[in-house]
Structure 1
């Protein structure tokens, strides 16, 4: 999706595909409260288009870094959850409190719009005791103020060791295993823990 909200669809979904994987990317990936909120609004439009085009009624979502903020804002403000069931949201190294209290306060204030029957996994990377090199672990842990006691299941996972820098996390073997096992129910065969 470009900055003007123009969507481009590539590929297709087969009618027999019960759990398709759809990747949404934005041309503009800048930080900042205003930009993240704009992308959340655009994500809401994308989800509405996908629902209209493919008849989605259930979905699972994965967001790395600001992607977790964008998904959370979109779920709270721009996706009609009464028409689509959010089964699971997994966030990786999401800086819930990076933008200061304004964004976190808004997310906490609107948390009642996140459906109770949702499972949330929040993954933090820790190359040292306090950060993944870009996002502070405490900022990731601030997700508990949004999700804890609001959803049926909320789990925080902290990864240490090799490849736990912020940009390495999506390709980290442990993360791939967690995504495969908990978000995609072992749809992708991985040899994560060996």
Structure 2
């Protein structure tokens, strides 16, 4: 019940202190995020790749992007998995602690955007816990929730990313990587943001 007490005097890494200091002001920047993971259990699975695009003034900023493959050798070894994905990938590669640190530095105090974003956030939080940091403080918006709100849907139907893309009559993507998903999420967000009148 008083778990927050144990974090009062906790000594965090320097990059995490810098990250926390950014929340004294509100950001006008959004970050569209997509992760590739080894599964859907954030307690047992790990992140294989992270891709993200910054969005400012209703523009996706290609130059403001983040893309990395996390080298998960220990996970792969423990689960007798091949390193083929990691070896063949042409993306920048990093061990998980360094990759997560760089992502947090890239993210800053921006509002996160994603498809079923709670899962991505929990996966990142688990990785942060492994390097003795707290949980992400960023606000987050989910494009599936935004779509349901715009259409005033109250049932339990869920929509995949390609389904939302099709329903909004947006160009289809090949969806071969987390970067293509992150870019599609960014474009869908901008369309739904306009339809919902979000500033």
TM-score by length of 1: 0.30
| Structure with more contact order per residue of length (Cα contacts < 8 Å, sep ≥ 6) | 2
Q: Report the TM-score when normalising by structure 2.
A: 0.30
Higher strand content, 1 or 2:
2
Q: Greater Rg, structure 1 or structure 2?
A: 2
